[in-house]
Amino acid sequence: MPESPSATCLFCEISRDSAEASIAASDELTVAFMDAYPVAPGHVLIVPRRHVSSLDDLGPDEGAALWDMTQVMARRVKAKHAPAVNLHLSDGAEAEQDIAHVHMHVVPRHRDDAVAIELPGTRATRDELDRAAASLADD
């Protein structure tokens, strides 16, 4: 069942122009706006207009539109704010998704900035990697 706009979802309110936001771009399916708590100047969030709390519920057209807008915003951030970007999307509370509405972060990056992303993790064995790959293969 498709999710409907949530009266209490900040991102739904922004999508409906019911909440204050600095909109960078929008189209029929997505809205790109500045993160109110930026990691760096130029940090942008891209959300689907429809309330979708998980990637599992994102329709193919919405997913394509989200990615298209992400690419547009990444190009613009790189042209005007930083030489590089990180893209970040958390899906679920356990992944530290702070607002239950799908959203992509475009984070401007500079050499030697203070942004910390803890990658890579611990090196896995080939057997562990093969088992994980097999678990994700088509049924």
Phi, psi of 93 (to 5 degrees): -60, -35
pLDDT digits (tens, 9 = 90+) for 87-118: 999 999 999 999 999 999 999 999 999 888 77
CA angle 98, 104, 107 (to 5 degrees): 100
- Structural domain containing residue 41: 10-136
Q: Flag whether 83 is in a domain.
A: yes
Q: Flag whether 127 is in a domain.
A: yes
Out of 43, 51, 101, 103, which one is annotated catalytic? 103
Q: Flag whether 113 is in a domain.
A: yes
pTM: 0.85
Q: Flag whether 2 is in a domain.
A: no
First to last CA, the chain: 24
Tell me how far apart the alpha carbons of residues 20 and 61 are, in angstroms, rounded to a whole number: 27
pLDDT digits (tens, 9 = 90+) for 9-68: 999 999 999 999 999 999 999 999 999 999 888 999 999 999 999 999 999 999 999 999
Query: Is 81 among the catalytic positions?
Result: no
Domain CATH code at residue 119: 3.30.428.10
Predicted confidence at residue 6, as pLDDT, reads 58
Place of tokens 């207009």: 49
Look up residue 39 and give its two tokens.
């990691």
| Spatial contact of 28 and 64, defined as CB atoms under 8 Å apart | no
Number of separate domains in the chain = 1
Q: Flag whether 34 is in a domain.
A: yes
Q: Flag whether 1 is in a domain.
A: no
